[in-house]
Structure 1
Amino acid sequence: MKSWPQRIVVLALLGGLVLALLWFQGIIGRHEYVQASIPAGQAVAATTRTQTVQRERITDLRVYPGFVEAVDPATLAARVMGTVVELRAREGDRVAAGEIVATLDDRDARAQLAQARAALDAAGARALQSQLALDRIVALGESDAITAQDLEGAQAARDAGRAQEVAAEQAVAEAETALTWFQLAAPFDGRVLERQAEAGDLALPGRALLTLYRGDRLRLRLAVPEQLVAGLEPGADLHVDFDGLPSRSARLARILPPADAMTGTVIVHLDLEPSGDLRPGAMGRVGLAVGEREALLIPAAAVERIGQVQRVGLVREGRIQSVTVRIGKRIGERVEVLDGLAAGEQVVLP
Structure 2
Amino acid sequence: MLSLSSSSFFPQRLLLVTAPALVLMLCGCKQEIAKEAPPPRPVRTVVVERGGLSQSIVLTGQIQAEKEVALAFRIGGRIIERSVDAGDSVKAEQVVAKLDPQNELNALRSARATLSAAKARLEQDSNHFDRQETLLQQGWTTRANFDQAQQALRTAQATVDDAKAQVEIAEDRVGYTQLKAGLNGTVTRRAAESGEVVQAGQTVFIVARETGWDAVFDVPAQVLRTGWGDADVIIALTDDPAVTAKGRVRQVDPQADPVTRTFRVRVTVNDPPPAMRLGATVSGRVEVDHGHGISLPASALTSKEKTPAVWVVDPDSLTVALKPVEVLRFDPGTVVLSGGLDGGEIVVTAGVQALHPGQKVRPLGVRS
TM-score range, shorter chain: 0.5 to 0.7
Q: 2-side partners of 1:138 and 1:255: how far apart?
A: 74
Distance verdict in 2 for CA 1:135–1:264, change over 3 Å? closer
Distance verdict in 2 for CA 1:131–1:283, change over 3 Å? same
Distance verdict in 2 for CA 1:122–1:80, change over 3 Å? same
Q: 1-side partners of 2:174 and 2:58: how far apart?
A: 53
Aligned-residue offset at 1:105: 0.7
SS at match of 1:260: coil
Aligned-residue offset at 1:272: 0.7
Q: 1-side partners of 2:113 and 2:251: how far apart?
A: 57
Partner of 1:85: 80
Counterpart residue identity of residue 280, structure 2: A
Aligned-residue offset at 1:139: 1.8
- 1:114 is aligned to 2:109: yes
SS at match of 2:125: helix
Aligned-residue offset at 1:262: 4.2
SS at match of 2:255: strand
Partner of 1:124: 119
Q: 2-side partners of 1:162 and 1:260: how far apart?
A: 61
Which of 232, 247, 250 aligns to 2:247? It is 250
- 1:268 is aligned to 2:265: yes
Partner of 1:165: 160
Aligned-residue offset at 1:343: 9.6
286-295 or 201-210, larger mean C-alpha shift: 286-295
Alpha-carbon deviations, 1:286-305, whole Å to 9, x = none? 2345778579xxxxxxxxxx
- Normalised to the residue count of structure 1, the TM-score between the two structures is 0.64
SS at match of 2:243: strand
- Structure 2 unmatched ranges of 5 or more: 1-48, 298-364
Partner of 2:187: 192
- Whether the aligned pair in 2 keeps the contact of 1:238 and 1:286 (CA below 8 Å) is yes
Alpha-carbon deviations, 1:52-97, whole Å to 9, x = none? xxx9987442421111111220111122221111111111111111
Alpha-carbon deviations, 1:280-337, whole Å to 9, x = none? 2211112345778579xxxxxxxxxxxxxxxxxxxxxxxxxxxxxxxxxxxxxxxxxx
Partner of 1:11: none
Aligned-residue offset at 1:140: 1.9
- 1:280 is aligned to 2:271: no
- Whether the aligned pair in 1 keeps the contact of 2:63 and 2:277 (CA below 8 Å) is yes
Alpha-carbon deviations, 1:220-246, whole Å to 9, x = none? 111112112123365531111212261
Counterpart residue identity of residue 131, structure 2: R
SS at match of 1:259: coil
Distance verdict in 2 for CA 1:203–1:260, change over 3 Å? closer
Q: 2-side partners of 1:140 and 1:262: how far apart?
A: 86
Count of equivalent residues: 245
- Using the aligned pairs only, state the percent identity: 27
Counterpart residue identity of residue 267, structure 1: R
- Whether the aligned pair in 1 keeps the contact of 2:231 and 2:287 (CA below 8 Å) is no
- Structure 1 unmatched ranges of 5 or more: 1-54, 296-341, 345-350
Counterpart residue identity of residue 95, structure 2: I
Partner of 1:29: none
The 4+ residue runs of structure 1 with deviation greater than 6 A are 55-58
- Whether the aligned pair in 2 keeps the contact of 1:69 and 1:281 (CA below 8 Å) is yes
Give the superposed CA RMSD.
Answer: 2.6
Structure having the higher Rg: 2
Q: 1-side partners of 2:192 and 2:228: how far apart?
A: 42
Q: 2-side partners of 1:256 and 1:210: how far apart?
A: 26
Q: 2-side partners of 1:118 and 1:343: how far apart?
A: 100
Q: 2-side partners of 1:268 and 1:280: how far apart?
A: 17
Q: 2-side partners of 1:216 and 1:343: how far apart?
A: 55
Alpha-carbon deviations, 1:25-73, whole Å to 9, x = none? xxxxxxxxxxxxxxxxxxxxxxxxxxxxxx9987442421111111220
Q: 2-side partners of 1:233 and 1:64: how far apart?
A: 11
- 1:214 is aligned to 2:209: yes
- Normalised to the residue count of structure 2, the TM-score between the two structures is 0.61
Aligned-residue offset at 1:206: 2.1
Partner of 1:61: 56
